[in-house]
Each structure stands twice: as C-alpha cells, then as structure tokens.
Chain A
Amino acid sequence: MINYLQNNSDAVLTALRQHIWLALLPVVLGFLIALPIGYLGVRFPWLYHPLVNVAGVLYSIPSLALFVFLPVVLGTKILSPLNIVVALTIYTVALLARTVADGLRSVDHLITESATAMGYRRFRRLIDVELPVALPVILAGLRVATVSNISLVSVGALIGVGGLGQLFTRGFQLFYLEPILVGVILSVLLAGVADLIIVIIQRAVTPWTRFQGGRA
C-alpha cells in the first residue's frame, strides 16, 4: 500500500482534492438553500408534513440514478462535475430542510416570547435568537449531511467523476486491491476530519451547551 501511494501520489492527491470539493461545495450550497425552506416549514405549520414527505422521497432516489439523470434534465455533459454537485446538493437540502425545521420548532416558546417582549421584530428575532438556540440541532444535521456526502461522492466514479471513487473503479477493473484500500481509507479519514471540524466549530459557536450537562 505504501508502494502504491509512493508511485501514484499525484493521481491520489488529484482524486482527493476533487473529492473534497465535490463533497463540500454541496454541503455549503445545500445549507444555504435549506435554511429558508426549513424556516418556511415552521412559519407555515401546514407546510411541515409535505416538506418532510418530499424530503423523504428525494432521499430514497438512488444516487446513481440521480447522477445519470441530471445531465438529461440540466443539459450538462455526462462527465461534468456539475451533475454530482447538483445531486448532492439535492440530498443535502432534503436532509437539512427537515433538521432546520425541527431545530427551529424545538426553540422554547418562552424564549421567543421574551424576545418579542424585548422588542425584537420577526426577522431579527429569527437571526439573533431562534437560529442560535436551534444551532446544536442544525449542526448535528450538518454533520450527518457532510459525512454521507463524502461517502456518496465515490458513487460518481461509475459515471466517470467521483474523486476517490475513481480509485475504486480503477482497482476493480484491474483486480488490484491497493487503490481500493487507499480510496476507502482516505474517504473514511476525510469524513472523520470534516466531522471533527464541525464539532470544533459547534463548540466554539454554542458555548452555552457545555454548561447544561448536555453533550456538545
């Protein structure tokens, strides 16, 4: 395995770099899209159940089908990384819209009422009070989305763009264990590091959670 890494370090690094941005760009985009959608699910309660159901159905579409299918819908080339980014963004939104809604719904009414009594208008109250209080729940969802995105990117290798997944297909075609092993290990490590970074961010931005005996 060490030999394989030494001889193919360029290819492995390129794959790793592609893997990182293919997985993380959708997390950022999906998060930004899911925030307003999740908020709508709370602001208009009748929207909550349709939202949860649509998200569930979106999540059950196999990633491979979405990767193959998006070029037809978007008019992109089949080998374009854009397909992967859009597909993973859809999954991220499906996962996070519900988490954002659940997080905002979990905010104690007493807190929102006190904020209103102090003169907060709806929008400022959302940004300054409700969102920070809901942050632990939302960030927990973000961890799940990030980790599952990192593992899903590799499926893209079946259509030619898949970061570390290309090491899987290459190894599989040559019946050669090393690239597959390197790919799996790097993918798991990458997920672990990304997860750790979010945990550290969470501890930094929600210091109050540590004083209530709650798990950070």
Chain B
Amino acid sequence: MNLDYLFDAAHWEFGTSGSIPQLLLSHLWYVVLALAIGTVIALPIGLYIGHTGRGSFIAINAGNAGRSLPTLGLLMLMVTLLGLGLLPVLIALTVLVIPPILTSAYAGLRSLDQRVVDAARGVGMRPWQVLTRVELPMALPVLMSGFRSAALQVVATATVAAAVGLGGLGRLLIDGLAVNDYSRVLAGAIVVAVLAVLLDLVLAFAQRWIVSPGLRVSR
C-alpha cells in the first residue's frame, strides 16, 4: 500500500488524457449534471406535495424506493437499452438524486409551524407568495441537508460509470484493479473521498449564505 501514484507529478498533468485532473473534471461533470437534473425534477414535486399535502404517500416512500434500486444494475440496464454514452450514466445517477431531494423538500415544508403559514395567508399573501416567500425560505435548512446527502451519494456512486467504460474517478479504481496496481486504486479512493468532503464544505457555506439569519437562532 503506497501513495506513489497519487504523488507522481506525471499523473497530475492537465493535458494528458486519463490524468487525475481530467478524471476529476469528468467526475464533477457527471455529479453536477445529475444534481441539476435531479433538482429540476424532484424539487417542484416535493414542494407541491409539501404545500398541498396531496400525495404525501409518494414522498414518504420515494426515499426507500430510490435507495433500494441498485445503481450498477440500473446503469448496465440503461447501457444495454440505450447504448454507451453520457445519457445512461445520467439516468442512473439522477434516479439516485431524486429521492433525497424530493423527501427533504416535502419534510421541510411539513415541519414548518402551521401558524406561520396561516399568518402569511392572513396578511393577504397568495398561495404562490406563501410558498416562495415563507415556506421555501423557512424549509431551506432541511432541504439543504437533503441536497447535501444527495451530493455525497452521487460523488461516491459516480465511480461506477467507469464499470461501463466511461470516465470519472472510477477509472482509477477499475483500471488499477485490472492491472493489480493498488497504488492507483488508493489514489482514486482518496481523491473521491476528498472531493466529497470538499463539496460538502462548499454546500455548507452555501447553506449559511442562503439561509435567512433569522432561522439560525433556533438551530
């Protein structure tokens, strides 16, 4: 077990294909795309269910249903159906992202003090205004914790893309395994873990920045 691969400058040259920075970038690209698409799909549904209370059964069970889908199987299924490319990877990772975001959007709205929502209605806010000016800002801490756990999961799971021949940091794991180069496997594991921790830090700062200071006292 050694760190030679990780600390070899040749593996950090940006221009070389398969170098750590390039794999890192393609890995991040999968992660960001999956999170963006997943949020666009899951957030409106979660907010709608939380705001109206209709279909809460879906929101409660989405979490467990999503966790039980094996990502590797889904990915291989999609590749077999659609052929190789970015699309099957994005579908598999997006399916992973949707449940935590949907569930936390719903839980965030449901956890609010209903008197606040009533008061917002009482001062004459329309339903849309209640949602965007009162419910959403107040639900942000819960929503962000769901988003952060989704991000952590995707960073770790995006490594399976390499199993179907695509890029990302999983390449270091799969190729390292194929040629019995454990130093390369270790490099891949470390870079993924560091990326996950850094991304979580960035999101934690973002959370401090976008959550209203008035909500910080109670937490």
Binding site for B on A (CB under 8 A): 56-57, 59-66, 68-69, 72-73, 143-144, 147-148, 150-152, 154-155, 157-159, 164-165, 167-169, 171-172, 175-177, 180-181, 183-184, 187-188, 191-192, 195
Flag whether B157 is at the interface (Cβ < 8 A).
yes
Known: A180-B76, A184-B74, A188-B68. A155 touches B189 (CB 8 A): no
Partner of B173, one of A68, A73, A164, A188: A68
Within the complex, what minimum Cβ distance (angstroms) separates B99 from chain A?
A: 11
What residues on B are CB-neighbors of A151 within 8 Å?
Answer: 67-71
The stretch of B29-37, B120-128, B133-141, B192-200 that contacts the partner chain: B192-200
What residues on B are CB-neighbors of A180 within 8 Å?
Answer: 73, 76-77, 80
What residues on B are CB-neighbors of A187 within 8 Å?
Answer: 68-70, 73
Within the complex, what minimum Cβ distance (angstroms) separates A139 from chain B?
A: 13
Partner of A61, one of B67, B170, B193: B193
Within the complex, what minimum Cβ distance (angstroms) separates B43 from chain A?
A: 22
Docked Cα-Cα span, A56 to B203, in Å, equals 14
* Interface of A (DSSP majority class): helix
A62, B170: Cβ atoms under 8 Å?
Answer: yes
Flag whether B79 is at the interface (Cβ < 8 A).
yes
Flag whether B176 is at the interface (Cβ < 8 A).
yes
Q: Digitize B134-160: 1 where CB-to-A-CB distance is under 8 Å, 0 elsewhere.
A: 000000000000000000100111011
* Interface of B (DSSP majority class): helix
Partner of B192, one of A61, A143, A159, A192: A61
Q: Which 8 A-B pairs have the closest CB atoms?
A: A191-B68, A65-B189, A60-B196, A172-B76, A184-B73, A62-B159, A151-B70, A154-B70
A57, B193: Cβ atoms under 8 Å?
Answer: yes
A–B pairs, 9, beta carbons within 8 Å: A56-B152, A60-B192, A61-B156, A64-B174, A65-B192, A72-B1, A155-B71, A168-B76, A184-B73
Most chain B CB within 10 A, of A62, A63, A195, is at A62
What residues on A are CB-neighbors of B182 within 8 Å?
Answer: 68-69, 72
Q: Digitize B72-84: 1 where CB-to-A-CB distance is under 8 Å, 0 elsewhere.
A: 1110110111000
What residues on B are CB-neighbors of A188 within 8 Å?
Answer: 65, 68-70
The A-contacting residues of B in range 18-77, CB under 8 angstroms, are: 64-65, 67-74, 76-77
Docked Cα-Cα span, A154 to B163, in Å, equals 12
Q: Which of chain B's residues has its CB closest to A165's CB?
A: B72
Since A65-B188, A72-B1, A165-B70 are in contact, a sample of 20 more A-B pairs with Cβ atoms closer than 8 Å, ordered by chain A residue number, is A59-B152, A60-B192, A62-B188, A62-B192, A65-B173, A68-B185, A69-B182, A69-B185, A144-B64, A148-B67, A155-B72, A164-B70, A167-B73, A172-B76, A172-B164, A180-B76, A180-B77, A184-B77, A191-B67, A191-B68
Flag whether B177 is at the interface (Cβ < 8 A).
yes
Known: A144-B67, A181-B77, A195-B64. A69 touches B192 (CB 8 A): no
What residues on B are CB-neighbors of A57 within 8 Å?
Answer: 193, 196-197
Docked Cα-Cα span, A183 to B71, in Å, equals 12
